[in-house]
Structure 1
Amino acid sequence: MLAVGGIAAVASSSGSSNSPQPKKPVLSAILEKSGNTISGETEANAVVTVMYNGEVIATATAGADGKYILKLDKNYNNGELLNISAVNKSTNVSLNTDITAPDTTAPSSLTQALSADNQTITGSTEAGAIVKVSLNGQVIGSTTANADGTYKVVLDKAYNNGEVFNITASDKAGNSTLPNTLVAPDTTAPSALGLF
Structure 2
Amino acid sequence: MEGWNKVGWSFESARVPMTFSAARRPGEEDVEHAAGHLTTLCGIPTREVDVYRHLFASRSAIACASCREQSVKAPTQPCVQEKLYRILDRSEGPLRDELREALRAGTKVPFWANGPAGAMLKHYIKFDRIVQGSEDVIDLEGFDGLLGVARAVGRKRRFLVLIPAEREAIVAVEEPERRFGRLRCLTRPLAQK
TM-score (norm 2): 0.19
RCO comparison, higher one (Cα < 8 Å, 6+): 2
With the length of structure 1 as denominator, give the TM-score of the two structures.
0.19
**Which one has a larger percent helix, Structure 1 or Structure 2?**
2
The structure that is strand-richer by fraction is: 1
Between structure 1 and structure 2, the one with the greater Rg is 1
